[in-house]
Structure 1
Amino acid sequence: MRFNAEVVTIGLGYIGLPTSALIAQNKIKVLGVDINASVVETINQGKIHIVEPGLDTAVLEAVNQGYFKASLTAEIANVYLIVVPTPFKGDHEPDISFVQSATEKILPLLKAGDLYIIESTSPVGTTEKLQEFIFSKRPELKGVLYMAYCPERVLPGNVMYELVHNDRVIGGVDEISTEKAVAFYSQFVQGDLHKTNARTAEMCKLVENSSRDVQIAFANELSLICDKANINVWELIELANKHPRVNILQPGSGVGGHCIAVDPYFIVSDYPLETRIIGTAREVNNYKSFWCAEKINQAKTAFQIEHNREPKIALMGLAFKPNIDDLRESPARYIVQRVLQNANDEEYFIVEPNIQDHNIFKLTDYQKAVKKADIIAFLVAHKEFFDLEISEEKVVLDFCGVKNRILNLKVVYN
């Protein structure tokens, strides 16, 4: 039996599912499509497969009220949202095959008057390329199918709020497509809707996250310098930011996630000669993770020499940012993997309070890990870590600023 959806979303991940739930909350029937049968079954039970505050309530409400349903296959609708991953291939070259595949699946369903929107992060020109593909297969849709690009701008951990209140940039392949897409988003977005063309909207998404990557790279580079200069980088940045026109970000163990660690490569891949700052920022942020792993290995060796035994080491955090369960492109996960490559007889406690079980790492409760460990490496500043009491004989490697909220620590890395 057809669900008679107004909207079909292709992809029920970290953006597709919240977006679907939000639209459905506004009494618009949404059919969410995913290739994972387990995900589909979970959602149709009114449950969720990812961690995001408020999402569980929104999905349960939308499913119970009959406005949201998940499926393995798409059905005829009036609006189609493509919200699938865009991974890499080769040497950080963007792979739009998922977007292409999702489009192929709905190709037979498209009809005159429909609205097709790509939300997936995409290289410049992707929307136009998919327009050419659709019209090559369905030439009768020329002039009667509306197509646009509208990237998300949300912060994991606050997605449900930001989907509603953040501004959106909406770019159509033509003016009428832009207007149709703006009318659609105005039904559930309270932020301002900024009109442009598809190419500018695509570049805007990439530029936003590339800018953030560059700013983080500056902070991470400062941390490397301060380590050699024996300067507390956290104090330095706090003092520098007293300047009315300076706003330096906080360093960390690298940069991860599905946006900042990925999007700059979409520009670098297409414009390799022009992206010296953007490309170098990626190198700095990638190197920071390698550097953190080396610092842990150095601390391990120093402990072995001083105490004539193997240390017990707590690796605190796996997610790509605080207080979420998302491990995509996570620098902390990379650090853990690299450190474990050099493991001998020392004992490791891997901590991620936002995940109960992991299919690769055996996870340990964060309080138990800190109590047993000789060396504690903070990789992610999860809120649970701020209330820890750590004795002074422990060796603490602080890569993400947790020490700013814990007193009386022996901190090796500042």
Structure 2
Amino acid sequence: MIMKISQGNLRVCLFVLYLFLSLCHPWRMSIESDQPHMRRKGRASASNATGRFDLPRIAVDDGWEQEAPPEVIPTEIRQETAKSIISYNRSPDLPFDRSINPYRGCEHGCIYCFARPTHAYLGLSPGLDFETQLIARPNAAELLRKELCAKRYKVAPIAIGTNTDPYQPCERDLEITRSCLKVLRDFRHPVAIVTKGALVERDIDILSEMAALGLVRVGISVTTLDPYLSRRMEPRAPSPARRLATIRRLSEAGIPVRVMTSPIVPGLTDHEIEALLAAGAEAGADAASWIMLRLPREVSELWQEWLSLHAPGRAAKVMARLREMHGGREYDPRWGERMRGTGEYAGMIGRRFRAACKRLGLTERSEPQRCDLFARPAQAGDQLALF
């Protein structure tokens, strides 16, 4: 049976189709790739290139029948007996001079993660290895207690999660981050936490106790409100809605929370700045921050590979914006330039961010955490005081 469609009805149908396509995100229209074999379920990286400190991996046909690479790559966790746990830095770009990272690598698998190149130091790839070959430091709390007890130690806020996420999935069983928080609570030591993980809610009992003393702040990174885009950029991180729910739970428990709209991806997520900040403020965040997309070392190649697979129609615009902010390069590692870039576009993003924060009552600079409460608790074998 053939239905006859009048010219008027045909125009209505075409108009409805046009409206539907207009409402869709433009990058979605080009999501289909001619290289589907490169995708791995639940992983952001499409490749596993050799690290810069390793010898090139050369495929050799030895005559044996080889199986095809598995679609699903399991996560492997190795344990490292660390010799020290507090890392110090002198970067003028960072608001802290020391940090703790309980894990190397991150199962969240954010394709844009600036920490990916650190896996090369381990002889592993910043690609799929970074997401699947994780290193845990089970003696972190023990080392932390020892380092805080040192007579030469001078107290200042410690940041947790500055390199890889302290609340990635393996923390549920290993509880290394929780053990470190218990030590910091016992010493009344100030701490700032950065995470995408909803698992931080498990530690509300410790965090609320520390928050009552002005010792803690938590930053929740929300890159986009689009779950479709988030699932591809951050395949194993909680959904945007779940992260906003985490902000709400922490805030209701009296824990100060910062919404981190980082990284901002030009041509892909930059249109969401105001909506992200509004959602964070509505959930209870009292502060906000932003960083532009950074592509150090191997991250640039991985990011461009991801763009060619998931957003080929937006790739040229995204990379052109980034080069515009970095003097024609994909990344400028200089202090003062690497976090936000320079030029008219970067300036416009900054103005939009500040205007939205002012309108929503969000502050960019939080109240400093207290350092005057720091005290070393009595340890086994200590001389007891007479009075």
The two structures have a TM-score, normalised by structure 2, of 0.30
Higher share in strand: 1
Higher share in helix: 1
Q: Which has the higher contact order (CA 8 A, sep 6+)?
A: 2
The two structures have a TM-score, normalised by structure 1, of 0.28
